[in-house]
Amino acid sequence: MFKYIVKRILMLVPVLIGVSIIVFLIMRVFSPDPAPIVLGQHATIESSNQWREANGLNEPIYIQYFNFIKGAVTGDFGTSYYTKTAVTNEIFSRFPATIELAIAAIIFASLIGILLGIISAVKKNTIIDHAGMIIALIGVSMPIFWLGILLIILFAGVLHILPSGGRINPLLQPTGGIGFYLIDTLVSGDMEAFIDAFKHLILPALALGMYSMAIIARMTRSSMLETMNQDYIRTARAKGITDSKVVTHHALRNAMIPVTTVIGLQLGSLLGGAVLTETVFSWPGIGNYTVQAIMKSDFPVVQGVVLLIACIFVLINLVVDIIYAFIDPRIKFTKKEG
Amino acid sequence: MKQKKAKSLVPDASSQAAVLLEKPESLFMEMWDALRENTAAVVGLIIILFLMVLAILGPLVMPYDPNFSDMTMSFIHPNAQHWFGTDQLGRDILSRIIAGTRISLTVGLSAVAIALTIGVVLGSIAGYFGGKLDTIIMRIMDMMLSIPSILLAITFMAALGKGIDKAVIAIGLVSIPEYARIVRGSILSVKENDYVQAARVIGNKDSRIIFKHILPNVLSSIVVRATLGISSAVLDTSALGFLGLGVQPPAAEWGDMLGRARGFIFTAPYTLIFPGVAITITVLAFNLLGDGLRDALDPKSRKN
Q: Other CB atoms closer than 10 Å to residue A75's CB: what's the count?
A: 11
Residues of B in contact with A309 (CB under 8 A): 147-148, 151
- Residue B54's pLDDT band, with cuts at 50, 70 and 90, is very high
H-type alpha helices, chain B: 2-9, 13-21, 23-36, 39-57, 93-129, 131-145, 149-160, 164-190, 194-201, 206-208, 215-242, 254-261, 274-297, 299-302
B299 — pLDDT class (breaks 50, 70, 90): low
User: CB of B123 within 8 A of CB of B187?
Assistant: yes
What A112-115 contacts at long range (C-beta under 8 Å, 24+ apart), as own/partner pairs, is A112/A213, A112/A217, A113/A212, A113/A213, A113/A214, A113/A215, A113/A216, A113/A217, A113/A219, A113/A220, A114/A216, A114/A217, A114/A220, A114/A256, A114/A259
Which of A106, A110, B39 lies closest to A118, judged by CA? A110
Three-class SS of residue B92? strand
- What value of ipTM does the predicted structure carry? 0.85
Sequence letter at residue A11: M
Q: In degrees to the nearest 10, what's the CA dihedral of A330, A336, A337, B4? A: 0
Position B124 pLDDT exceeds 80: yes
* Optimal mutation site among B39, B150, B245, B273, interface A, most CBs of chain A within 10 A: B150
**Mean pLDDT across chain A:** 85
Please answer yes or no on whether B279 and A146 come within 8 Å at the CB atom: yes
DSSP state letter for B247: S
Q: Which residues of chain B make contact with A279, given a CB cutoff of 8 A?
A: 242-243
Q: Give the angle A48-A53-A59 at the CA atoms, nearest 5°.
A: 125
Please list, in sequence order, all residues whose beta carbon lies within 8 angstroms of the beta carbon of residue A59, skipping any fewer than 6 positions away: A67
Could you tell me how many CB contacts below 8 A there are between chain A and chain B? 131
Please tell me the number of Cα atoms within 13 Å of A336 on its side-chain side: 1
Instruction: Identify the pLDDT of residue B298.
Output: 65
Which residues of chain A are within 8 Å of residue B272 when distances are taken between CB atoms? 146, 149-150, 153
Position B59, amino acid = P
Phi/psi for A44 (5° steps) reads: -80, 160
Mean pLDDT of B70-81: 81
Please tell me the distance from the alpha carbon of residue B106 to that of residue B167, in angstroms, as a whole number: 10
- pLDDT tens for each residue of A57-112: 888 888 888 888 888 888 888 888 888 888 888 888 898 999 999 999 999 999 99
Exposure b/e, B258-268, CB count within 10 A at least 16 = b: bbbbbebbeeb
Q: Is the pLDDT of residue A154 over 80?
A: yes
CA distance A18 to chain B (A): 6
Q: What are phi and psi of A301, to 5 degrees?
A: -65, -50
- Contact criterion met (CB below 8 Å) for A219 and A121: no
- Measured between beta carbons, the chain A residues lying within 8 angstroms of B176 are none
Which of A141, A152, A156 shows the shortest C-beta gap to B284?
A: A141
Taking the C-alpha atoms of residue A172 and residue A192, their distance in angstroms, rounded to an integer, is 8
DSSP code string of B39-53 = HHHHHHHHHHHHHHH
Report the candidate in A80, A58, A84, A56 with the shortest Cα–Cα distance to residue A68: A56
Phi then psi dihedrals of residue B300, to 5 deg = -70, -45
Judged on CB neighbours under 10 Å (0-12, 13-18, 19+), A209 is buried
Q: What is the pLDDT of residue B235?
A: 93
Using CA atoms in the order A231, A236, A239, A241, what is the torsion angle rounded to 10 degrees? -150
Q: Identify which has the larger pLDDT, A322 or A149.
A: A149
User: What are the backbone angles phi and psi of residue B86, rounded to the nearest 5°?
Assistant: -120, 160
Q: How far away is chain B from the Cα of A321, in angstroms, using its nearest Cα? A: 15
CB A65, CB A57: distance < 8 Å: no
- DSSP conformational letter for B270: G
Q: Tell me which amino acid residue B119 is.
A: G
The tens digit of pLDDT for each residue in A27-48 reads 877 777 788 778 877 778 888 8
Does residue A152 contact residue A280 with C-beta atoms inside 8 Å?
yes
Rounded-to-integer distance, Cα A233 and Cα A223, Å: 14
**Rounded-to-integer distance, Cα B246 and Cα B260, Å:** 12
Spatial CA neighbour of B252 closest among B61, B96, B105: B96
pLDDT in tens, B253-296: 999 999 988 888 888 888 899 999 999 999 999 999 998 888 87
Check if the beta carbon of residue A210 is closer than 8 Å to that of residue A150: no
Contacts of A301 in chain B (CB under 8 A): none
**B280, A15: Cβ pair inside 8 Å?**
no
Cα angle A304, A167, B254 (rounded to 5 degrees) comes to 75
> Are the Cβ atoms of A276 and B140 closer than 8 angstroms?
no
Rounded distance, CA A248 to CA A255, Å?
10
Cα separation, B233 vs B179, whole angstroms? 13
Q: Do A19 and B156 touch (CB under 8 A)?
A: no
Cis amide prior to A204 (ω within 30 degrees): no
The whole-angstrom separation of Cα B269 and Cα A24 is 40
Residue B300 near residue B6 (C-beta atoms within 8 A): no
Q: Which of A316, A207, A322, A329 is nearest to A263 (CA)?
A: A316
Q: What angle in degrees, to the nearest 10, is found between the helix axes of B274-297 and B215-242?
A: 170
Asked if residues B114 and B153 have their Cβ atoms less than 8 Å apart, the reply is no
The strand pairing partners of A79, in sequence order, are A86
Chain B residue at shortest CA distance from A144: B239
At residue B27, the pLDDT reads 65
Rounded to an integer, the average pLDDT of A244-253 is 80
Note the Cα A287 to chain centre separation in Å. 9
pLDDT digits (tens, 9 = 90+) for B188-222: 888 778 888 888 888 888 888 888 888 887 788 88
What percent of chain A is modeled with pLDDT above 90? Answer: 24
Across the interface, whether the CB atoms of A26 and B239 are under 8 A apart is answered no
**Angstrom distance (rounded) from CA B31 to CA B25:** 10
Distance to chain B for A185, nearest Cα, Å = 31
